[in-house]
Chains A and B, each alone.
Chain A
Amino acid sequence: MRPPVRREVLRLSVNGEERELLVRPYATLLEVLREELRLTGTKHGCELGECGACTVLVGGVPQLSCLLLPAQVEGAEVTTIEGLADGATLDAVQRAFMERGGLQCGYCTPGMVLAARALLDANPSPTREEIREALAGNLCRCTGYAGILDAVEDAARSGR
């Protein structure tokens, strides 16, 4: 029988809001976001780091929330899909996904959009190949990817 483990304080910023939570040290960031903060836009797919559905931005960089322990995000700035739109105004990537039909069931979309956002922040004019590489960890079983790549290209154009 394992000894009980005490909860620990986790301080981090989520979508620009400072949070202080009491969490299990073995709860993943995915569990913290969905179950403690009720931010269910971050999806759980494989939960093993193989599908990208749970992608969030940590310090602006895509990471897999299903693999991150609280200690790894202590003091970090986390952005989830809920933090991307500015009120009722969608982010350019979100708008392009909608207009280009870069989604069908939508389950991979939050992770896909965040990975694309991080790419465009680092490289505002990516080639199609660079977009493919940046999204290489985000699986989509519906679209066949063409609409997604088109959407990210559109978002890049509209951002220029």
Chain B
Amino acid sequence: MLRLPPCSYLRPGSVEEAAELLSRHGERAMLVAGGTDLVPKMKRGQMEPEVLIGLGHLAELRAVTETEEGGFLIGAGVTLAEVSAHRRLAAAYPAYVRAAALVSSPALRNVGTIGGNLCVDTRCNYYDMSFEWRQACGFCMKKDGDICRVAPASKRCRAIASSDTAPAAIALGASVVLAGPAGRRREVPVDGLYRDDGQYYLEKSADEVVESVRLPAPGSWCSSYVKVRRRNTIDFPLAGVAVALRRSGPLVDDCRIVLTAVGSRPFDVSAAAAPLIGRELTADVLAGADGLLAEVAAEAAKVAKPLDNADLHYVWRKQMTRRAVEQAIVEAAGRLPVPTGRA
């Protein structure tokens, strides 16, 4: 039996108290909500907190509320299954709900939270291994070592951003509310939560708690999320593409494209969509007739530089990134039905 190392479990009375506990215990402590990312990593010795600060019991983190602006504020403790099954969210933000419904497996989504998914640890074949495997192979800079095993000349960790909901949230213009000690709060765009560094991948101070995700009014945006992986369940993304598209009459008025799992942070590559602006997405264009989608996809995927540190071959992953961009645009344009997820 794989067991967790001894640690204590604290139950703060509020989000503020959780932030204060984080501040007091420093690096010895970690937050835990669903625990679906943390618990396996503790079993493999990738994370070694002595103090767990529980969030799962805090009712204040579990609400989905409509905002005065016509958007939604989703508590960080809302589960991925709850988001997947939320009809109004599915109607307004198909990319976000689809992304949540594609995370791992049904039983895991019943426990894993949307706050946890935004903060999910970056992944790498040299890091997501048991302690004994890493000890035998040699540790890497993300845990216990000092070099990158994938790219030994790299000055930074190349582990892969693996949140499915992050690219969707970014494409939809979402922000996160971060709560700190003493009632301190700040709100940052989801895009501002990440750094292109597999080791220090979150742009948040150590005593801040992700409290909620704010989705702006959906307006006339339509959106989609496409995930590439070996199996159509359980697996983390090998590439993920979120697209949000807005039309003015028949013409594309704005288009956002965000990639995940092709680097250490999600990449907003919306500039690549420029050739689509002012164009009509006719059935011919969506079928690839004049090469417009292929041109956009090739430009969007330029930033993707997969390395040999995930499932399947990295050249194939790069190729599939382009295909996923095309597919996401087609789905967002409404040519293909976008199925909503189930819990």
Q: Which residues of A contact B (CB under 8 A)?
A: 2-6, 8, 24-28, 30-31, 34, 44, 47-50, 52, 55, 61-64, 66-72, 74, 115, 130, 133-134, 136-138
Contact = CB atoms under 8 A, between A and B. Distances in A.
A6 to B, nearest CB: 8
17 contacts: A2-B50, A5-B8, A25-B8, A26-B3, A26-B52, A27-B4, A48-B40, A55-B107, A62-B110, A63-B110, A67-B40, A67-B108, A69-B35, A115-B106, A137-B105, A137-B106, A138-B107
A68 B35 contact: yes
B56 interface: yes
B7 A25 contact: yes
Nearest to A51: B234
Interface in B88-122: 104-108, 110-111
A28 B56 contact: no
Contacts of B234: 50, 136-137
A62 B9 contact: no
Interface residues of B, number: 34
A49 B50 contact: no
A71 B54 contact: yes
B250 interface: no
B7 A71 contact: no
Given A4-B6, A62-B110, A49 B104 contact: yes
A28 B232 CA distance: 28
Nearest to A31: B1
A5 B106 contact: no
B309 interface: no
Contacts of A133: 106, 342
A61 B7 contact: no
Interface of B: 1-9, 11, 32, 34-36, 39-40, 43-44, 50, 52, 54, 56-57, 104-108, 110-111, 232-234, 342
Q: Is the interface of A mostly helix, strand, loop or mixed?
A: loop
Contact of A52 (B11, B35, B105): B105
Nearest to A65: B107
Q: Is the interface of B mostly helix, strand, loop or mixed?
A: loop
A24 B43 CA distance: 15
A106 B110 CA distance: 25
Contacts of B6: 2-5, 24, 26
Nearest to A48: B40
B48 to A, nearest CB: 9
A64 B9 CA distance: 19
Nearest to A55: B107
B43 A47 contact: yes
Contacts of B54: 69, 71-72
A68 B34 CA distance: 8
Contacts of B32: 69
Nearest to A56: B107
Contacts of A24: 6
A119 B32 CA distance: 28
Contacts of A34: 1
Nearest to B3: A31
B111 A64 contact: yes
A5 B40 CA distance: 20
Contacts of A64: 36, 107-108, 111
